[in-house]
Amino acid sequence: MAYTSYVAVGDSFTEGLNDPPIHATGVDPGQAERFRGWADRVAEHLGRLQPGFRYANLAIRGKVLDQIIAEQVPLAMEMQPDLISFCAGGNDLLRPGSDPDRMAKKLAAAVRDLRSTGADVLLFTGVDPRDTPIMRRARGTFATFYLHVRSIADLYGCHLVDQWSMQGLRDWRAWSDDRLHMNEHGHRMVAAKVLDVLGVPSEDTWRTVWPPREDVDPRAKRREDAQWVREHLVPWIGRRLTGRSSGDGLAAKRPDLAPLDSTGS
């Protein structure tokens, strides 16, 4: 299918953290941290194949499932695109007491609504968290939710991007310093996987095989871990305890369904 329009909804993963923009200079001060990300990369590729292609990205970092369903899903439905990507739930699963079964019921209802517009819908599992210090204790909760996602994709005829099976994403070289968001390499792999799932040829591959890493000095590793705790983990815990979000006060980077050469604002 030649897609003519695409709307992305979700959180920081879909917003594109931490994949830097192509042009870091001359950026609007209000968009100083306007990251690129896998969704932008997919849109750029689809746009090269279809003249007049339009794209909106409604994703905002820190948003939880309820917020995405309430704030972004209705806008995506109003835009009536050919393709909608919907990835949500990761921020919920990081919170104590999250219920993957209840989350799945909400997700299923939103997916049903999105599919009722006639759009193709992309759903995502997350990456296996067994190598991530914050998340590996909740691995069973993550796995339960992502099994629900697979079932919902099958039930409603959605495309499924299975990141759990992407072994290249289990290497830290695909991630930024905060260990929660992918870097350019990770986003490029996800974009390649999305295009593969959509049946669209791409020059990139998601089957990345990393070269062996040199042995790391245990003392250097401890210093890296301590730095990560100070710079990333403690601020993250602080936001959770005070009810704040990294996305507070931020707007979507491409709020309107507009041609790719437009900012969409």
Q: Are 7 and 53 in contact (CB under 8 A)?
A: no
| Residue at 48 is within a domain | yes
Residue 133 pLDDT greater than 80, yes or no: no
Beta strands 83-87; 5-10: pairing state? parallel
What's the whole-number mean pLDDT along residues 212-239?
A: 72
Q: Are 95 and 46 in contact (CB under 8 A)?
A: no
DSSP 8-state class, residue 232: I
30 compared with 259, residue with greater pLDDT: 259
Contact partners, residue 207, CB within 8 Å, separation at least 6: 168
Sign of CA dihedral 173, 178, 180, 185: negative
Range of the domain at 151: 5-259
Sign of CA dihedral 144, 228, 175, 211: negative
245 compared with 39, residue with greater pLDDT: 39
DSSP 8-state class, residue 120: E
pLDDT of amino acid 32: 47
What is each CA distance from 106 to 109, 133, 221, in whole angstroms?
A: 5, 28, 41
| Residue at 103 is within a domain | yes
| Residue at 96 is within a domain | yes
Number of separate domains in the chain = 1
CATH classification of the domain holding 133: 3.40.50.1110
What's the whole-number mean pLDDT along residues 142-156?
A: 97
* Mean pLDDT (the chain, rounded): 88
Give residue 26's pLDDT band: very low, low, confident or very high (50, 70, 90). very low
Could you tell me the strand order of the sheet in which 5-10 lies?
159-162, 120-125, 83-87, 5-10, 54-57, 254-259
Joined together, the tokens standing for residue 187 give 């986003």
| Residue at 214 is within a domain | yes
Report the SS3 class of residue 10: strand
| Residue at 264 is within a domain | no
Give residue 134's pLDDT band: very low, low, confident or very high (50, 70, 90). low
Over residues 72-93, the pLDDT tens digits come to 999 999 999 999 999 999 999 9
Q: Are 21 and 61 in contact (CB under 8 A)?
A: no
Q: What is the pTM of this model?
A: 0.88
pLDDT of amino acid 212: 83
What is each CA distance from 187 to 26, 140, 217, in whole angstroms?
A: 23, 25, 28
| Residue at 265 is within a domain | no
What's the whole-number mean pLDDT along residues 166-194?
A: 93
Residue 213 pLDDT greater than 80, yes or no: no
Q: Where are the alpha helices (DSSP H) in 33-99?
A: 37-49, 65-71, 73-79, 90-93
| Residue at 21 is within a domain | yes
Q: Are 247 and 71 in contact (CB under 8 A)?
A: no
Give residue 207's pLDDT band: very low, low, confident or very high (50, 70, 90). very high
Contact partners, residue 171, CB within 8 Å, separation at least 6: 208, 210
What's the whole-number mean pLDDT along residues 222-226?
A: 71
Over residues 179-190, the pLDDT tens digits come to 789 999 999 999
Residue 226 pLDDT greater than 60, yes or no: yes
Q: Are 202 and 196 in contact (CB under 8 A)?
A: yes
Q: Are 147 and 110 in contact (CB under 8 A)?
A: no
| Residue at 186 is within a domain | yes
230 compared with 157, residue with greater pLDDT: 157
